[in-house]
Every structure is written in structure tokens, then in C-alpha cells.
Amino acid sequence: EPEVTQTPSHQVTQMGQEVILRCVPISNHLYFYWYRQILGQKVEFLVSFYNNEISEKSEIFDDQFSVERPDGSNFTLKIRSTKLEDSAMYFCASTGTGKYEQYFGPGTRLTVT
Amino acid sequence: QKEVEQNSGPLSVPEGAIASLNCTYSDRGSQSFFWYRQYSGKSPELIMFIYSNGDKEDGRFTAQLNKASQYVSLLIRDSQPSDSATYLCAASSARQLTFGSGTQLTVLP
């Protein structure tokens, strides 16, 4: 069964550094998303992406964040200058055409020190 | 502000019993509703989705939606210890999921 994959599984970085989190959505899915979950808190929407552009973004997704689909398979989330409060699990999700169900990847645990 | 509210639990049921999980949402524009299961340290796993008022059954799971009351529920029949997890309710508007804080379910052998 096709799955969303994410790399790395765990990323440790120093405050102020740039990080790129990578996702490979399910093949032939066209809608892509990033969510985050701070330890012990709710899953929060960051951004949705369709047809090579951002469809929706939340207040969390400020100028420090960007997304890109650099090729036909990868979908990336970049955080330009990480802060301590960016420490969280980051989940990528994707949805097929004509569907609304979002399938999540295993997540990347980001630790900012 | 879009909100999804769930009883945080914990909810404990004996093996073989029915577990009932409830959720309310604030945004009347929400069109699609989802139940995810999340094991500790893992990602949300989609187990049910419902778009229309009424019931939807899939195996041991039944989702119920009442848009007038802005209420969604999940019933798990014949609960198993492997069902022990946190269950997340989510409402979708413009393909953006708003999650509740989850209900922690423990199924006792």
C-alpha cells in the first residue's frame, strides 16, 4: 500500500540554523500539506500546496517558513532561522485528486537547541 | 477561530465492549470529518471519514455525523487491547484540517 515517506526521522539543529524537511507524497496525489505537533499538544495545520503553489497557510506559517516541490516526487519544508519553539514533530500529508482524505507520513522530529 | 473539542479522557473500556468517542466543532463551514488514531510517538493514522449526516460503518468502526448539532462521534465495537491509542477528531474546511486534542482510549484485557 502506498505511503507518505519523510526524511530525516530526527533532526537536531542549533537555534538560528536553516533546516529542510523532506517528504515524498503518495504517487499520483496532487494535494500536499505540512502539519506540526508540539509535544503534548494538538496537531496544527501549517500549509497546503497544490499545482505548485500554496493554497492555504496558517498564522504559524510566517516568513521563516517556505515550501517547495523541487521535482516530481519531493515536497520540502524549509525553516530559515530556527527558534527553540520550532521544536516539534512535523508531519507531511497528501490527498488524491477528487478526494479529501489526508494520509500522513511518519513525521520528522525537529529538536532545536 | 475554528475549534474542535473532544473529551480528553482517559476513557477505559473492557475488551469486547463498545467504545464511544465524541467530538464537536465550531465552524459550520466544515464539510468533511475524520477520525485518526495516533499511537504514542507516531503519526496520525486515518481510520474513518464521513461527509454526510448519518452513520457510516467500516468493520468494527462506525462514524456518526450530525451537522445541525455540529457533532461527530466514533463507535468502536468489540474493542481490542490493540485499539488502545489516542483518537483524534478533525474537521476540514478548504482542505485544512483542524484537529481536536484527542481522546486517550485504553482497552483493558
Q: Which pLDDT score is estimated for A1?
A: 78
> What is the distance between the alpha carbons of residues A95 and B49, in angstroms, rounded to a whole number?
13
Task: Report CB contact under 8 Å: A104, B88.
Answer: no
On the question of pLDDT at A20 being above 90, the answer is yes
Are the Cβ atoms of B97 and A102 closer than 8 angstroms?
A: yes
Chain B CA closest to residue A91 = B43
Checking if the pLDDT of A2 tops 90, the result is no
Tell me the pLDDT of chain B averaged across its residues: 96
Q: What is the sign of the dihedral through the CA atoms of A70, A88, B40 and A48?
A: negative
Instruction: Please write the tens of the pLDDT for every residue from A23-43.
Output: 999 999 999 999 999 999 999
Could you report the per-residue pLDDT of B25-38, keeping only the tens digit for each? Answer: 999 999 999 999 99
Which pLDDT belongs to residue B12?
A: 97
Question: pLDDT tens for residues B50-81?
Answer: 999 999 999 999 999 999 999 999 999 999 99
Long-range pairs, A45-51, Cβ under 8 A, ≥24? A45/B96, A45/B97, A45/B98, A46/A77, A47/A77, A48/B94, A48/B95, A48/B96, A49/A75
| pLDDT tens sequence across A46-99 | 999 999 999 999 999 999 999 999 888 899 999 999 999 999 999 999 999 889
Contact A79, A9 (CB under 8 A): no
Which chain B residue has the Cα nearest residue A48? Answer: B96
Cβ contact A42–B44 (<8 Å) = no
B45 touches chain A (CB under 8 A): yes
Contact (CB<8Å) A48/B88: no
Which residues of chain B lie closer than 8 angstroms to A35, CB-CB? 97
Euclidean distance between CA atoms A57 and A75, whole angstroms: 16
Using 50, 70 and 90 to split pLDDT, how confident is the model at B89? very high
Would you call B61 an interface residue with chain A, using a CB distance cutoff of 8 Å? no
pLDDT of the residue at A8: 98
Surface-to-core class of residue A73, CB atoms within 10 Å of its CB (0-12 exposed, 13-18 middle, 19+ buried): exposed
Of B42, B45, B98, the CB nearest to A45: B98
Q: A104 to chain B, minimum CA–CA distance in Å?
A: 6
Half-sphere exposure of A93 (CA within 13 A, CB side): 28
- Would you say residue B8 has pLDDT above 80? no
- What is chain B's Cα-based Rg? 13
Say what the pLDDT of residue A72 is. 81
pLDDT at B93 (0 to 100): 87
Residue B62's DSSP bridge partners are B57, B75
**Cβ contact (<8 Å) for B95 and A48?**
yes
